[in-house]
């Protein structure tokens, strides 16, 4: 749960301005007039992967991002990314203005601080500050434009996905067909918006040895458990799919290569230190991971090929490592 902190009643206007003046809703407003309302609003600390708002919630709070980033997603917090909101932006206002429940899920992408403004304070700000009302309208109009574009793309994709199976029956992850299509869509979006997009190829090292030693049923169990751990590890960043056999892929929207390498290395180390708990007992496992980023490639296929080449390099380096590829496809 988010950790709440409330500023003391005697907090100075200068401190409030230093902390909150960069937020979208307060642009152009004299902070002396805001101090009485904002001093009582809690500051929330949210950890990566933590759900702030869930679809269907009866929300009565506007959240301003003081620092960090959140992702707005459909179909659960692991679902289709709708947009990423960064420092200065706000969310939650639509459920108050429309008096409807929350229509999407909001999850923190990193350690995030949120200024929580209750609906009574919001309405007081709207009534007493014309500039605040204008700022709110500008935020809403911009959000609606972005949301409409993303919803149109998302709904078109969903209609297509409904006509084809999209889940791998063994692991419950998305399958290769789904991955190919969503990769193309996210590649176009990240190119259009100038945002990073990273892609990981993950291979379970020496998996044939597991099948030969313990049998294919235990091998399937290892794949299912690995898939679950991989999905949990990547849930705050992106979406995991089964690429085929013992190979998996992770699509990480709005994630630069350095951050993707950190996520991949953390997963590799954690897996190596914590054997897979099967019905026959713990089985040690390691993975080789190849990483690539959209800016280094010229097409969705090129991004996948570059990550695959990086995975091949990781295997040549002796397996159980994370690698990139220096030669673009």
Residues assigned a catalytic role: 246
Q: What is the DSSP string of 141-155?
A: HHHHHHHHHHHHHHH
Domains 3-150 and 165-324 share a fold: no
Query: Which are the contacts of 78, defined by CB distance < 8 A and separation ≥ 6?
Result: 231, 235, 239
CATH classification (class only), 165-324: alpha beta
Q: Write down the domain spans for the chain.
A: 3-150, 165-324
Q: pLDDT tens, position by position, for the chain (329 residues)? A: 455 554 444 556 777 777 787 788 888 888 777 777 787 788 899 999 898 998 888 889 989 999 999 988 866 545 556 678 888 888 888 888 888 888 888 999 999 999 999 988 888 888 888 888 998 888 888 777 766 776 677 667 666 655 556 888 899 899 998 899 899 999 999 999 999 999 999 999 999 999 999 999 999 999 999 999 999 999 888 899 999 999 999 999 999 999 999 999 999 999 999 999 999 999 999 999 999 999 878 899 999 999 999 999 999 999 999 999 864 44
pTM reported for the whole predicted model: 0.56
Contact present, 132 and 24 (Cβ < 8 Å): no
Q: What are phi and psi of 73, to 5 degrees?
A: -140, 155
Of the candidates 222, 177, 196, the one whose C-alpha atom is nearest the C-alpha of residue 292 is 196
CA distance 185 to 179: 10
The domain 3-150: what is its CATH number?
2.60.120.10
E-strand stretches of 51-195: 51-53, 61-67, 69-73, 81-86, 90-91, 105-108, 112-118
Q: Which residue's structure tokens are 């997603």?
A: 73
């Amino acid at each position: 749960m988010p950790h709440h902190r409330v500023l003391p009643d005697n907090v100075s206007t200068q401190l409030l301005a230093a902390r909150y003046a960069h937020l979208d809703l307060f642009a152009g407003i004299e902070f002396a007039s805001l101090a009485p309302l904002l001093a009582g609003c809690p500051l929330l600390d949210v950890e990566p992967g933590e759900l702030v708002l869930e679809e269907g919630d009866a929300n009565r709070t506007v959240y301003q991002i003081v620092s960090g980033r959140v992702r707005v997603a459909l179909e659960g917090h692991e679902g289709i990314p709708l947009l990423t909101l960064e420092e200065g932006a706000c969310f939650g206002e639509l459920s108050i203005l429309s008096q409807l429940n929350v229509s999407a899920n909001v999850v923190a992408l990193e350690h995030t601080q949120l200024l929580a403004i209750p609906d009574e304070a919001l309405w007081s700000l709207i009534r007493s500050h014309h500039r605040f009302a204008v700022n709110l309208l500008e935020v809403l109009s911009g959000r609606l434009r972005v949301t409409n574009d993303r919803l149109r793309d998302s709904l078109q994709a969903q209609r297509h996905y409904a006509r084809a199976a999209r889940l791998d029956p063994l692991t419950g992850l998305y399958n290769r067909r789904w991955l190919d299509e969503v990769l193309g869509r996210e590649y176009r979006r990240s190119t259009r918006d100038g945002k990073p997009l990273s892609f990981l190829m993950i291979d379970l090292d020496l998996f044939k040895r597991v099948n030969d030693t313990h049998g294919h049923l235990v091998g399937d169990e290892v794949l299912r458990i690995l898939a679950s751990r991989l999905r949990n590890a990547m849930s705050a960043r992106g979406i995991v799919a089964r690429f085929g056999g013992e190979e998996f892929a992770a699509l990480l929207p709005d994630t630069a290569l350095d951050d993707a390498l950190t996520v991949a290395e953390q997963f590799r180390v954690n897996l190596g230190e914590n054997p897979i708990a099967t019905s026959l007992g713990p089985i040690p496992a390691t993975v080789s991971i190849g990483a690539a980023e959209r800016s280094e490639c010229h097409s969705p296929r090129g991004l996948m090929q570059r990550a695959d080449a990086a995975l091949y390099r990781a295997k040549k380096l002796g397996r159980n490592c994370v690698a990139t590829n220096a030669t673009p496809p």
